[in-house]
Amino acid sequence: MTMPFDPDKHRRRSIRLRGFDYASPGGYFVTICAWRKACLFGDIVDHAVRLNEFGLAVAQAWRDLPNHYPHITLDEFVVMPDHVHGIVFLLDEDDSIVIGAGPVVVGAGRRPAPTTTTTPPAPTGSARHPLSEIVRAFKSFSARRINTLRGTAGVPVWQRNYWEHVVRDNADLARIRAYIRRNPTQWTDDERHAAQSH
């Protein structure tokens, strides 16, 4: 069973797999928290996310990632008021999506990937970037857009680190997808957010 992300527990402690190559093909579940856990990106209203202009900028920065990194495919994603959850696949040499030793199973009822662009074919021999570079770019692109909108150049938008989980198999992928989809409905179950809910 996938453990829910706890920002207090995972804030400082590295949980990266020792010796694991985070540039290797496969699925990665990432959680990135807003600076000081501020509810910067919108609200939860009637168990659904209502994004403000900053949240919309975050969602657009995520959707744009395949335009900058052609060897990735985006999967389930949600912008919450103070964090984001997403799944990103680093493609193999044949540009196939794999988990562990096998292909990804697209199960019945799975929502389509939230990207609105098709992944362009990568030039032969182009670099394959590690997960850390992709997350760094997402944070940089989205922070730049938000700080332009609010006229606050250089002000932090994201916490320095992020939490990731290597997707082990199709069952793990299904659990993570379900967790991301349920996240807005569980917002008021978190005592820290109970006073902020409408």
Residue 19 lies in a domain: yes
Tell me what percent of the chain is helix, strand and coil, each rounded to the nearest 5.
35, 20, 45
- b/e 3-22 (16+ beta carbons within 10 angstroms → b): eebebeebeeeeeeeeeeeb
Residue 78 lies in a domain: yes
Q: How many whole angstroms from its chain centre is CA 32?
A: 7
CATH code for position 58: 3.30.70.1290
Return the amino acid letter for 109. Answer: G
For the chain, where are the alpha helices, taking DSSP H only? 7-10, 53-68, 131-150, 170-182, 191-194
Residue 35 lies in a domain: yes
Residue 42 lies in a domain: yes
What is the pLDDT at residue 119? Answer: 40
For the chain, the straight-line distance linking the first and the last C-alpha, in angstroms and rounded, comes to 30
Domain that holds residue 65: 7-188
Residue 1 lies in a domain: no
Residue 39 lies in a domain: yes
What's the CA angle centered on 71, arms 80 and 109, to 5 degrees? 50
Residue 27 lies in a domain: yes
**Per-residue model confidence as pLDDT tens for the chain (198 residues):** 444 545 444 444 445 555 566 778 999 999 999 999 999 999 999 999 999 999 999 999 999 999 999 999 999 999 999 999 999 999 988 888 887 656 676 543 344 344 333 344 444 456 789 999 999 999 999 999 999 999 999 999 999 999 999 999 999 999 999 999 999 999 875 545 544 443
Domain tally for the chain? 1
Residue 181 lies in a domain: yes
